[in-house]
Amino acid sequence: MAEPVEEQGLVKEITPLSVDFDRWYTDVVRKAELADWTFVQGMMVIRPYGFALWEHIQRAFDDMIKASGHENMAFPLLIPQEFLLKEAEHIEGFAPEVAWVTKVGKGMKELEQPLAIRPTSETIIGPIMRKYIQSHRDLPKLTNQWCNVMRWEMRTRLFLRSREFYWQEGHTFHSTAQEAEDEVHLILGYYRDLAQDWLAVPVDVGLKSETEKFAGAVYTTSIEGMMRDGQALQMGTSHYFGQNFSRAYDIGFANRENQRELCYTTSWGVSTRLIGALIMAHGDDSGLILPPRVAPIQVVAVPILRSDEPSREAVRGCLRTLEAQLRGAVRFKVDWREDVRPGEKYAEWEVKGVPLRLEVGPRDVEAGQVVLVDRLRREKRPVPIEGLAERLRAELAQFHLDLYHRAQTFKAEHTADLIDLAAVVDHYRTDGGFVRALWCGRGECEAQVKLETGGVTTRNFPENEVIEGTCVVCGREAKHRVTFAKAY
Amino acid sequence: MAEPVEEQGLVKEITPLSVDFDRWYTDVVRKAELADWTFVQGMMVIRPYGFALWEHIQRAFDDMIKASGHENMAFPLLIPQEFLLKEAEHIEGFAPEVAWVTKVGKGMKELEQPLAIRPTSETIIGPIMRKYIQSHRDLPKLTNQWCNVMRWEMRTRLFLRSREFYWQEGHTFHSTAQEAEDEVHLILGYYRDLAQDWLAVPVDVGLKSETEKFAGAVYTTSIEGMMRDGQALQMGTSHYFGQNFSRAYDIGFANRENQRELCYTTSWGVSTRLIGALIMAHGDDSGLILPPRVAPIQVVAVPILRSDEPSREAVRGCLRTLEAQLRGAVRFKVDWREDVRPGEKYAEWEVKGVPLRLEVGPRDVEAGQVVLVDRLRREKRPVPIEGLAERLRAELAQFHLDLYHRAQTFKAEHTADLIDLAAVVDHYRTDGGFVRALWCGRGECEAQVKLETGGVTTRNFPENEVIEGTCVVCGREAKHRVTFAKAY
């Protein structure tokens, strides 16, 4: 549940990660000034540092989809009840979480029909796009929108689960099943790249089980990351709908033979949840550790000023020169505050996870160097001012690799291959992390694992893998090598 | 009212601007594929071409405000009723247009308190930001959000007035009145620059009257453009609140003497209405004319292919080379479609207002040239392929100036300086456009002009102008030289 607003901004110390992961997470989000709960229950405010992070993530993904011909649009926030109700499985999945607009204006006049605030937009985008699709020549339609959606969750967590959140939702319309399925996988690949190459979070890429798929989909693919408490986080999903939605909303086209066919459609989304992912995949007891490619500030410089004015001016002059030199090369900030001691500044920028810090004192300036400290290893290294821009770019690239490698190692160390149910149950009595096991693909076996482990579910499995062996639960022939984990 | 969805996409011909301006506007918006109404009454879908235009406008303004230290955030969509009701004038202004969420979940359970979908966010941003403001050291807070808002309008018009629209709303908090007023004017200057330097729309910059100001403001400043039917469009507003909102929401800080004071606050916004502005300020009977700096496509090339394959390949090869050469220099698109004739392509890109068109045929390629046609004058000019990138950039810069100049000339030609009420009334019997006149500043005189002219209102007036003369209505001493106009 939402915390009372009075607690805002009062985090004095971050609870150690090993002591209480949930508390640690909330402390970090708030102390790093990423987001807070508001007095509107379950709804957050994203603060400037958190929003800048989101803007960098948005830019990265937006560039990817635009390069492959996807186009941004804006669709209505509100969905008439009758439209939301048309696809039976879909509404079954979302109805419990819908917020309804029922009244308007000064006298709060009742609407003829309640309007849902979109929990996702399949049921409004389909009916709108059908008007723009007459012939196979109008296809494919590759649309996307960046927007807010609302799901009336009862258990909330900043960035991971809130009543309102921000995301992109792609919705595409195709003339063949093959093309639509290719689209699903194209985007899945983008999501993998976004997670790994931008957020430095290694992910499992694969198919969701029938139980775990999106309400209304033929199948759902996902990327799943491992958080530092060993739990899984579903970081993005790409769905294949076949003709399910186009049948419900009559989205058709005239094919080459001039006969009417229904479209094949997809949808896919990533959200501000990705911010939660990078916090929980990389953070430590001192706070955030940000992947450089999306860090709002990549390099922060802290001046160390002595009492004599000439040496102070030398340091300031050096930093002003660096500000000019580094512009456009790295996202650089000098912490000029005069009423805060350098040590406090170090701590603050460590909480905020800035990848690289430069400490610049009078002796450094004299020696033509600065002291470089990286957030990951915290080693202090003198580096020459000459050629600093290039050096910092190389350091940031290396930082990304190191961060990715660290997460990958952590994931490998917390993944077990197990072959029978007893071992799985036993494993989760003492351990967390991922378990990889063979599985027959049946819901009964999933359910049994979930029951006996107190909540471990299937996350996803690689597509088209040749499997030999038997199901970890029932001993029948296995179809998939699936990842089990507790999940957010 | 919203048009029925069945009409979508069926605009065959654009109604001439001189025959029916309203019809012309709607035809252009739809035939240029900018936006449409949807089956959700009063709510629009912004199509890819329209949204790309908005993205360029967003980028331009976002860069301006970030360069001066403003930060983007995200605040909740929903506002509890009790908060919306706290500032009396404000709620008086907005209550008639509020959409209320009253029910949630599967059983449509009644909420304890209705939640308003934000019509604007002063009443939620203030109460949230107060938590982050303790001392004068926390000020100023310069926040902005890009978001959707909802106002339940009864008379709607695409981009100009719809129940949901997209905008930025800036909200800033200051320790002194002077600083807050400076902020209001800083942003007003950005709005002027956005309108003039990016959209090529000359604007009147000034103060709104008491009657026309924002509900809850001490004063409102605005930019007002003239559309091609002579009517005014309010294109952006920047408000000074003094302590009105900080009093209502108790937003205070400890000053340098450690005494508690209330903040001085501002808000300011521009919306997707700006798209309406550039359509109506520049368009002609053939459709849109887009200002180059925000045009999604600045230069379109149409291949002219003859029947013999070697000459076809020469043209294609030339265009492929241009695609590579112009990348990064101008937003360039080759219309490669094979099933559409060049003449149809020309008409289509004219409707869409692309500033420059290149026609490329085999003889041009042989002669090392292309034919350049600009959307404004439609002159055909051969230009050498050598140095084309630079030439096109220069042409686009000139196109912007020409477009601006044309709008400025039109505005000057449709602005009359008048000195008595009879003349004003007489003027609006036969003419439209702007009337500049001296005014005493009293609401009675504004009301009388409005009554006798059938709806002409004051738009704004320059601040701090020394005025000598008497009011156009009552003959009392004049305080302002005000612009009168019919307005959207």
Q: Average pLDDT for residues A254-268, to the nearest whole number?
A: 97
Q: Average pLDDT for residues A93-97, to the nearest whole number?
A: 87
**Is residue B92 pLDDT above 90, yes or no?**
no
B341: Cβ–Cβ under 8 A, 6 or more apart, which residues? Answer: none
**Is residue A11 pLDDT above 90, yes or no?**
no
Q: Would residue B220 be called left, alpha or beta, if left means φ above 0 and alpha means ψ between -120 and 50 degrees?
A: beta
Sequence length of chain B is 488
Task: Tell me the CA distances in angstroms from A382 to A360, A372, A376, B462, one per residue in order.
Answer: 10, 6, 17, 57
3-state secondary structure of A136: helix
Backbone angles phi, psi at A157, to 5 degrees: -150, 135
What distance in Å separates the CA atoms of residue B136 and residue B409, rounded to the nearest whole number?
Answer: 48
- Residue A338 CB neighbours (<10 A): 6
Record: contact B45-A100, CB cut-off 8 A: no
- Closest CB from A44, A78, A131 relative to B9: A131
Task: Tell me whether B77 touches chain A (CB under 8 Å).
Answer: yes
pLDDT at B231: 98
The closest alpha carbon to B352, from B272, B438, B283, B402, belongs to B283
Residue type at position B74? A
pLDDT at A2: 38
Residues A105-117: tens digit of each pLDDT: 988 999 999 999 9
The closest alpha carbon to A428, from A411, A442, A414, belongs to A414
Percent pLDDT > 90 in chain B is 94
Nearest chain B residue to A5 by CA: give it: B131
Using 50, 70 and 90 to split pLDDT, how confident is the model at A10?
low
Task: Tell me whether B82 touches chain A (CB under 8 Å).
Answer: no
pLDDT at B5: 38
The closest alpha carbon to A168, from A277, A17, A65, A46, belongs to A65
pLDDT at B11: 63
pLDDT at A8: 45
Mean pLDDT of chain B: 95
B255: Cβ–Cβ under 8 A, 6 or more apart, which residues? Answer: B136, B175, B261
What distance in Å separates the CA atoms of residue A242 and residue A215, rounded to the nearest whole number?
Answer: 13
What distance in Å separates the CA atoms of residue A71 and residue B52, rounded to the nearest whole number?
Answer: 8
A136: Cβ–Cβ under 8 A, 6 or more apart, which residues? Answer: A175, A253, A254, A255, A256
Nearest chain A residue to B146 by CA: give it: A147
- Evaluated on CA atoms B348, B350, B354, B360, the torsion sign reads positive
DSSP bridge partners of B83: none
Which region among A37-46, B82-91, B447-456 has the lowest average model confidence (pLDDT)?
Answer: B82-91
| DSSP at B228 | T
pLDDT at B107: 87
- Closest CB from B8, B48, B117 relative to A72: B48
- Closest CB from A36, A103, A127 relative to B100: A103
Task: Tell me the CA distances in angstroms from B139 to B132, B243, B263, one per residue in order.
Answer: 10, 15, 9
Q: How far is B432 from chain A (nearest CA, A)?
A: 33
| DSSP at B461 | B
Mean pLDDT of chain A: 95
3-state secondary structure of B44: strand
pLDDT at A95: 84
Order of all β-strands in the sheet with A109-117: A78-80, A109-117, A99-104, B99-104, B109-117, B78-80
Record: contact B98-A114, CB cut-off 8 A: no
Record: contact B80-A40, CB cut-off 8 A: yes
What distance in Å separates the CA atoms of residue A148 and residue B76, rounded to the nearest whole number?
Answer: 10
pLDDT at A1: 34
Sequence length of chain A is 488
Record: contact A76-B150, CB cut-off 8 A: no
Record: contact A80-B39, CB cut-off 8 A: yes
Record: contact B96-A77, CB cut-off 8 A: no
Mutate one of B77, B148, B272 to test the A interface: name it (highest A CB count within 10 A): B77
Q: Which two tokens stand for residue A99?
A: 């917020």
- Closest CB from A44, A74, A148 relative to B51: A74
Cis peptide before B140 (omega within 30 of 0): yes
Record: contact B51-A73, CB cut-off 8 A: yes
Task: Tell me whether A150 touches chain B (CB under 8 Å).
Answer: yes
**Is residue B467 pLDDT above 80, yes or no?**
yes
Q: How far is A218 from chain B (nearest CA, A)?
A: 24
A22: Cβ–Cβ under 8 A, 6 or more apart, which residues? Answer: none
Q: Average pLDDT for residues A13-28, to the nearest whole number?
A: 96
**Is residue A468 pLDDT above 50, yes or no?**
yes
Question: Helices B177-193 and B48-67: crossing angle, nearest 10°?
Answer: 140
Q: Average pLDDT for residues B420-424, to the nearest whole number?
A: 96
**Is residue B138 pLDDT above 60, yes or no?**
yes
**Is residue A3 pLDDT above 50, yes or no?**
no
- Closest CB from B39, B77, B103 relative to A127: B39
Q: How far is B360 from chain A (nearest CA, A)?
A: 24
- Closest CB from B55, B80, B95 relative to A106: B95
Q: Average pLDDT for residues A202-222, to the nearest whole number?
A: 96
Residues B313-355: tens digit of each pLDDT: 999 999 999 999 999 999 999 999 998 999 999 999 999 999 9
pLDDT at A6: 39
Q: Average pLDDT for residues B289-303, to the nearest whole number?
A: 98
Q: Average pLDDT for residues B237-258, to the nearest whole number?
A: 96
What distance in Å separates the CA atoms of residue A53 and residue B159, rounded to the nearest whole number?
Answer: 30
Residues A352-375: tens digit of each pLDDT: 999 999 999 999 999 999 999 999
**Is residue B226 pLDDT above 90, yes or no?**
yes
Degrees, nearest 5: CA angle B332-B336-B341: 115
Using 50, 70 and 90 to split pLDDT, how confident is the model at B10?
low
- Closest CB from A73, A105, A115 relative to B46: A73
Record: contact A38-B148, CB cut-off 8 A: no
Task: Tell me whether B43 touches chain A (CB under 8 Å).
Answer: yes
Using 50, 70 and 90 to split pLDDT, how confident is the model at A88?
confident
Q: Identify which has the larger pLDDT, B442 or A96.
A: B442
pLDDT at A114: 96
- ipTM reported for the complex, 2 dp: 0.95
**Residues of chain B neighbouring A97 (CB-CB closer than 8 A):** 105
Nearest chain B residue to A101 by CA: give it: B101
Q: How far is A148 from chain B (nearest CA, A)?
A: 8
Q: Average pLDDT for residues A480-488, to the nearest whole number?
A: 97
Q: How far is B158 from chain A (nearest CA, A)?
A: 13
